[in-house]
A and B are shown apart, each in its own frame.
Chain A
Amino acid sequence: AQKITQTQPGMFVQEKEAVTLDCTYDTSDPSYGLFWYKQPSSGEMIFLIYQGSYDQQNATEGRYSLNFQKARKSANLVISASQLGDSAMYFCAMRERTGGFKTIFGAGTRLFVKA
Chain B
Amino acid sequence: EAGVTQFPSHSVIEKGQTVTLRCDPISGHDNLYWYRRVMGKEIKFLLHFVKESKQDESGMPNNRFLAERTGGTYSTLKVQPAELEDSGVYFCASSSPHSDSYNEQFFGPGTRLTVL
Contacts and interface: CB of A to CB of B under 8 A. Distances in A.
Interface string B77-108: 00000000000010101010001011011111
A97 interface: yes
A104 to B, nearest CB: 7
A100 B42 contact: no
B110 A102 contact: no
B56 interface: yes
B116 interface: no
A43 interface: yes
A28 interface: no
B112 to A, nearest CB: 8
B109 interface: yes
Contacts of B108: 44-45
A106 B41 CA distance: 9
B33 interface: yes
A87 B33 CA distance: 27
Interface in B28-71: 31, 33, 35, 40-45, 48, 55-56, 58-59
A101 B55 contact: yes
Nearest to A99: B101
Interface of B: 3, 9, 31, 33, 35, 40-45, 48, 55-56, 58-59, 89, 91, 93, 95, 99, 101-102, 104-110, 112
Which 6 residue pairs spanning A and B have beta carbons closest together? A45-B107, A105-B43, A33-B102, A44-B109, A43-B109, A102-B45
18 contacts: A37-B107, A43-B9, A43-B89, A43-B109, A43-B110, A44-B3, A45-B107, A46-B107, A47-B104, A50-B104, A95-B101, A100-B101, A101-B48, A101-B101, A104-B42, A105-B35, A105-B43, A108-B42
Given A42-B109, A43-B112, A91-B43, 16 more contacts: A4-B42, A33-B101, A44-B108, A47-B104, A47-B105, A47-B107, A93-B43, A100-B48, A101-B33, A102-B58, A103-B43, A103-B45, A104-B42, A104-B45, A105-B43, A108-B42
Interface of A: 4, 33, 37, 42-47, 50, 52, 91, 93, 95-97, 99-108
